[in-house]
C-alpha cells in the first residue's frame, strides 16, 4: 500500500532540491544556508538564498528575495497559484510577506525552533484573523535541509563565530 503522505512528499522533492541548491550557494558565500524557490505553472519563476551579509540588509532572507523576483516575473504583487519552497521554516517577517503576497502554498524542509512562524513558535500563515492564509507542509527533505544548517553552524563555531 502506498502512503498518501509519501506521495505528497515525493511530489515536492523535486522543487525542494532546487531550494537546497540555493542554500548551497548561500553556504559557499558564507551566508546562513537557506534557499527558496517559487513555482508557478510547474516551473520556477523565482529563486533566492540568504544574502544578509553580502547586502548588509536584515530583510535579505531567501524567501523575501524570491517573493520580490516572483512579483516581478508575474507583474503582480499577488502571487496566486504559486508555491514557495524553502529549506527552513519561515520567520515572522517572511511569514508576513507570504500572507501579504497571497502565496497559497508553502513547503518547507526543516523547522526553526528559534524563529519558525508557520508551525513552531507562531502560526502566522494560518492565522484566521489575517486577510489571507496559506496551506503549509513541513518536513520535505527534512534531514538534508537540517544537515546543511548544522554543517554551517558547526563550521562557524569552530572559527569562533556565530
Q: Report the SS3 class of residue 71.
A: helix
Q: Which residues contact 121 (CB under 8 A, 6 or more apart)?
A: 112, 113, 114, 115
Beta bridge partners of 48: 36
Looking at the annotation, which residues are catalytic? 63
Query: Is 49:94 a contact under the CB 8 Å cutoff?
Result: no
Which whole-number Å values give the CA distances from 138 to 23, 29, 115, in the listed order? 17, 26, 15
Q: In terms of Cα–Cα distance, which of 56, 57, 26, 32 is closest to 115?
A: 32
Q: In terms of Cα–Cα distance, which of 72, 97, 73 is closest to 86?
A: 97
Phi, psi dihedrals of residue 147, rounded to the nearest 5°: -60, -40
Residue with cell 524542509: 109
Amino acid at each position: 500500500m502506498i502512503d498518501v503522505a509519501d506521495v505528497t512528499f515525493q511530489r515536492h522533492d523535486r522543487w525542494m532540491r532546487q531550494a537546497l541548491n540555493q542554500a548551497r550557494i548561500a553556504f559557499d558565500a558564507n551566508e546562513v544556508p537557506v534557499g527558496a524557490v517559487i513555482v508557478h505553472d510547474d516551473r520556477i519563476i523565482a529563486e533566492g538564498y540568504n544574502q544578509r551579509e553580502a547586502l548588509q540588509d536584515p530583510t535579505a532572507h531567501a524567501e523575501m528575495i524570491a517573493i520580490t523576483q516572483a512579483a516581478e516575473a508575474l507583474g503582480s504583487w499577488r502571487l496566486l497559484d504559486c508555491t514557495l519552497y524553502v529549506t527552513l521554516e519561515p520567520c515572522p517577517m517572511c511569514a508576513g510577506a507570504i500572507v501579504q503576497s497571497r502565496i497559497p502554498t508553502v513547503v518547507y524542509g526543516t523547522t526553526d525552533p528559534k524563529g519558525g512562524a508557520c508551525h513552531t513558535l507562531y502560526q502566522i500563515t494560518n492565522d484566521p484573523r489575517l486577510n489571507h492564509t496559506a496551506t503549509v507542509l513541513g518536513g520535505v527533505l527534512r534531514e538534508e535541509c537540517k544537515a546543511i544548517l548544522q554543517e554551517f553552524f558547526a563550521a562557524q563555531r569552530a572559527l569562533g563565530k556565530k
